[in-house]
Structures are given as structure tokens and as C-alpha cells.
Amino acid sequence: MKIQNKKFVYLISPNQIKNNSFFINLNLVLKSNKVCFFQLRLKNESIKKQILIAKKIKKICKKNRVKLIINDNPYIAKRVDADGCHLGQKDMNIRKAKIILRNKYIGITCHNSLKLAKNAYLNDASYVAIGAFYKTRTKKVKHKANIKILKQIKKSINLPVVAIGGINEKNYKNLLLNKADFLAISSYIWKNKKLKPHQAIESLE
């Protein structure tokens, strides 16, 4: 069964970008025309290195008509003129981020909480990220989400919902069928032992 929303992937970078082969692979993945957002998430790199990498990625995203989102840091997002920023619950307040980024995208991690999702909506977030839906190797799972909470959030707020956590070729359709707007995917693309990154993205119909 083909999914209606063609650009349903919210692609998250690996935790480290070590060499130029990543940029080649990223271009091939984005050429699939399945990715709407690309989030640069480099927790352990200096700001200088993040800016350098972000500038390279921005060119690739622009060429493939993909929106570049910077994780955690609105100042970096502004510095590289990214399309927006993604904030966790412990990151900068959304109102302060809006002053820095004005009309850019600002997404908020809401874990498995309807209350946090409503709060993000009231603060004019661009989208909410909900999860983790499945086991993931990207980060330790503290909050487990399910289809029931996804449906509650979709009914309660008029914002795009990004489902996150352990999403792969076996479980992604169920989330889309239950009205997740985008699927945040990382390990399945970048750490897939069977498929190269561009083959992994193509396996998601």
C-alpha cells in the first residue's frame, strides 16, 4: 500500500558526522523526494563545527527542497539561516526562541504528554514531536508513546505531529495510517546493517 503523503520523512542526522561520505549519502537520500525536514543533531560538537557542517548541509537541503532544522540551538539556526529549530523540554523557552528566529519553524518535543502538546500549541509551536513509539538505539527511552496518545493529540490540537523513536520499514505504515504527519527517522537510514542510506529511504514507499 502506498502512503499518500509523499514527503513524510523527518530525517535526523547521525550523532557524529566524521567525513565527506556523509554529504554524498545525504544528497542521495534527499533525492528520493521523501524527506520534508532534515534535523541536524550534533550533541557533542563545538558550535564552530556545527556551524561549519550546517552550512554544507544547507546547500544540499536547498538543492533538494528540504527544510533544514537545527536541534537545540536557535542561535546556530539564525547564524546559518536555517529554516528553523527544534527544542526539547529543557532547552530554551519557545517564546525566547521566537524572538530570535521570528517566523521560522520551531518544533517542540512533547514526549508522550497531551498536556505538553497543548502547551506547545498555545505557544505557537510549528509542530510537536511525540515518542518514543518503539525501541531506539539513538537515545535512551524515558517516555513511551502509543497510538492512543497519538490519536488524542491529533484530536486535541491543530498542529502537525512528528512521530519519533525506533521507526523502520516494519512499523512506519501503522503510524501514518493513524494520522502521524511526519516520521522522525535516524538509525534506520544511517546505521542500517543491510541497506545503504539511499536504499533504506527507498524501502519506505
1 within domain boundaries = no
2 within domain boundaries = no
Domain that holds residue 139: 9-202
pTM of the model: 0.95
Mean pLDDT computed over every residue of the chain:
94
Tell me how far apart the alpha carbons of residues 10 and 108 are, in angstroms, rounded to a whole number: 14
128 within domain boundaries = yes
4 within domain boundaries = no
19 within domain boundaries = yes
3 within domain boundaries = no
All three cell numbers of 99, joined, read 524572538
What domain count does the chain have? Answer: 1
3-state class (DSSP) for residue 25? helix
The pLDDT value recorded for residue 3 is 39
Candidates 60, 54, 94, 61; CA nearest to 77 is: 54
The pLDDT value recorded for residue 140 is 66
| CATH (domain of 50) | 3.20.20.70
176 within domain boundaries = yes
83 within domain boundaries = yes
For residue 11, the surrounding DSSP H or E stretch is strand 9-12
The pLDDT value recorded for residue 200 is 98
